[in-house]
A = this chain, B = another copy of it.
């Protein structure tokens, strides 16, 4: 259906609105373009999106990162954009339908049972209409996916051991089985990966874990013989005794309630995530090695860029940096669509160049490059802002302030259980001082050859993200001047206990120099200068053995003390 066809349908059936989050049945952000109904309906490609289609108007909900991009990609006559992360869409629905009497249609596969519960609680007078016929026709891609195992050499723990660790939780809650619907968590638990998505090696499957330790996987279009087709899910679920199936209602499609009956499910929450985001020692070693491999690619790219940027476009940059990464034997795929943005495109947070927006790199400007790779032994995510020629002093100063914010957090020692909200403020403080800020999170957990974005979060909303040792997270403050330029400085770190005190610190994973041409030393204090020099010393010492002479010489220069 097109947008106008949906509106006609709503009018005909006297339904006030259709609620369409940017989801497939796995309720995670990595979906294929062909699965993205919001993109096909209104042209918006951002990863944070929900649509409320009313009879007369369509509302797009996104967040600050996509403020500019959403305006560029959509038709202002048809679509009203609402950039707000606060309590969406509940508060909006409350204000829009003041009487509380409205009818709202949804697809039970692409909305969580938690959201439907919250709707029911908040809007007792509303009529929620389950779109069982799937009128929009959204479905998973039918492309065949190759499934492969992640060797224990890299995963650290075999699937059997991981499963055995969660069985007690299933039993303690009086359940016969647990249905896991998060593809990211299924992939982690089973040490399985696939090539279904271009930027994330997850296997898109559900797992039914029985209390005897046996696991059935459900997915369509894979080449692994023992994975059952999704059509078998209903029968398998019905073989579990009523009231004995454990689930995580908040993150499970409402459809499971429709199949199994909501009252027959035991909501025992997410029993995997807390284990998954604490990396084991083998995984950590993998991240460390993968970051060296990644740094080789980035250093080669930066050397190339210095000598070759003239006349190149953003798309040329994407091709080049992706190609350097692909040279590594253990490289699997990008960890997300590479972002190369120069001049005013840099101010569009999470911009991706396309033929329409592609800009030529110009002398005396900056390039913002956010990229990363999945390797067999780990995942990377790095942003560097790079000088082309001699950028204006205001850009150098802004970059220096962003770097101060990065250092403020990266050098923080903090107690276990500190929240991502508290860490966020420690970072932003340096920007606030200069009346600067940025409209995205300060950091995110990074999956191990899984989704690049996972828990914990570092952001003004992250009051429930609690930190402990052996978590891998980004630190990525930025600054964006609309129609002018953009800056972001991102490294990955893992949390580690300090000897003696038991407090936590950030240990750096990323080993690529920061652009000294964009640092105004006079804005830094002694501790900050020492931090930068020590970081560069570590980069040079660690990476030199992996480089040929010309790259080594370039790195020596890039890493010379301030």
Query: Which residues 494-514 of A sit at the B interface, judged by CB distance below 8 A?
Result: 498, 500-501, 503
Whether a CB of chain B sits under 8 angstroms from the CB of A121 is: no
Q: Which of B415, B433, B503, B526 touches A525 (beta carbons < 8 Å)?
A: B526
Pairs A–B under 8 Å by Cβ, sample size 5: A412-B429, A413-B429, A413-B433, A415-B432, A525-B527
Of all chain B residues, which has the CB nearest A504? B432
Whether a CB of chain B sits under 8 angstroms from the CB of A79 is: no
Q: Chain B residues with Cβ under 8 A from A268's Cβ?
A: none
Type the 1/0 row for A418-435, where 1 means its CB is closer than 8 Å to any CB of B: 110111111001001101
Of all chain B residues, which has the CB nearest A464? B463
Q: Which of B422, B460, B500, B525 touches A424 (beta carbons < 8 Å)?
A: B422
Whether A432 pairs with B419 at a CB distance below 8 angstroms is no
Add 16 more A-B contacts to A414-B432, A435-B500 (CB < 8 A).
A413-B429, A413-B432, A413-B435, A414-B425, A415-B432, A421-B421, A421-B422, A421-B463, A422-B425, A423-B425, A425-B425, A425-B426, A432-B503, A463-B463, A525-B526, A525-B527
Complex alpha-carbon distance, A424 and B415, angstroms:
13
Complex alpha-carbon distance, A192 and B463, angstroms:
39
Whether a CB of chain B sits under 8 angstroms from the CB of A437 is: yes
Q: Which of B423, B460, B501 touches A435 (beta carbons < 8 Å)?
A: B501
> 9 nearest interchain CB pairs?
A422-B425, A435-B501, A463-B463, A413-B432, A413-B433, A414-B432, A525-B525, A426-B429, A425-B426
Nearest-Cβ distance from residue A359 to partner chain B, whole angstroms:
31
Query: Which residues 407-460 of A sit at the B interface, judged by CB distance below 8 A?
Result: 412-415, 418-419, 421-426, 429, 432-433, 435, 437, 460
Binding site for B on A (CB under 8 A): 412-415, 418-419, 421-426, 429, 432-433, 435, 437, 460, 463, 498, 500-501, 503, 525-527
Nearest-Cβ distance from residue A442 to partner chain B, whole angstroms:
11
Complex alpha-carbon distance, A527 and B430, angstroms:
13
Whether B418 pairs with A425 at a CB distance below 8 angstroms is yes
Q: Copies per complex?
A: 2
Nearest-Cβ distance from residue A346 to partner chain B, whole angstroms:
23
Q: Chain B residues with Cβ under 8 A from A435's Cβ?
A: 413, 498, 500-501, 503
Nearest-Cβ distance from residue A410 to partner chain B, whole angstroms:
12
Of all chain B residues, which has the CB nearest A411? B433
Nearest-Cβ distance from residue A527 to partner chain B, whole angstroms:
7
Complex alpha-carbon distance, A432 and B505, angstroms:
10
Complex alpha-carbon distance, A460 and B416, angstroms:
12
Q: Chain B residues with Cβ under 8 A from A526's Cβ?
A: 525
Nearest-Cβ distance from residue A508 to partner chain B, whole angstroms:
17
Q: Chain B residues with Cβ under 8 A from A432's Cβ?
A: 412-415, 503
Nearest-Cβ distance from residue A480 to partner chain B, whole angstroms:
16
Of all chain B residues, which has the CB nearest A432? B413
Complex alpha-carbon distance, A73 and B432, angstroms:
46
Whether A429 pairs with B414 at a CB distance below 8 angstroms is yes
Q: Chain B residues with Cβ under 8 A from A463's Cβ?
A: 419, 421, 463
Complex alpha-carbon distance, A419 and B463, angstroms:
10
Complex alpha-carbon distance, A395 and B424, angstroms:
31
Complex alpha-carbon distance, A418 and B460, angstroms:
8
Complex alpha-carbon distance, A418 and B428, angstroms:
11
Complex alpha-carbon distance, A468 and B378, angstroms:
44
Complex alpha-carbon distance, A186 and B78, angstroms:
52
Of all chain B residues, which has the CB nearest A414? B432
Of all chain B residues, which has the CB nearest A423? B425
Complex alpha-carbon distance, A435 and B421, angstroms:
21
Nearest-Cβ distance from residue A398 to partner chain B, whole angstroms:
15
Of all chain B residues, which has the CB nearest A501? B435
Complex alpha-carbon distance, A426 and B409, angstroms:
10
Complex alpha-carbon distance, A429 and B419, angstroms:
13
Of all chain B residues, which has the CB nearest A498? B435
Q: Chain B residues with Cβ under 8 A from A421's Cβ?
A: 419, 421-422, 463
Complex alpha-carbon distance, A503 and B437, angstroms:
11
Nearest-Cβ distance from residue A499 to partner chain B, whole angstroms:
11
Q: Chain B residues with Cβ under 8 A from A437's Cβ?
A: 415
Nearest-Cβ distance from residue A386 to partner chain B, whole angstroms:
29
Complex alpha-carbon distance, A498 and B432, angstroms:
11
Nearest-Cβ distance from residue A334 to partner chain B, whole angstroms:
34
Of all chain B residues, which has the CB nearest A434? B413
Of all chain B residues, which has the CB nearest A525? B525
Q: Chain B residues with Cβ under 8 A from A422's Cβ?
A: 421-422, 424-425, 460
Nearest-Cβ distance from residue A481 to partner chain B, whole angstroms:
15
Q: Chain B residues with Cβ under 8 A from A429's Cβ?
A: 412-414, 426
Nearest-Cβ distance from residue A401 to partner chain B, whole angstroms:
13
Nearest-Cβ distance from residue A5 to partner chain B, whole angstroms:
41
Nearest-Cβ distance from residue A248 to partner chain B, whole angstroms:
22
Q: Chain B residues with Cβ under 8 A from A413's Cβ?
A: 429, 432-433, 435
Nearest-Cβ distance from residue A234 to partner chain B, whole angstroms:
34
Q: Chain B residues with Cβ under 8 A from A426's Cβ?
A: 425-426, 429
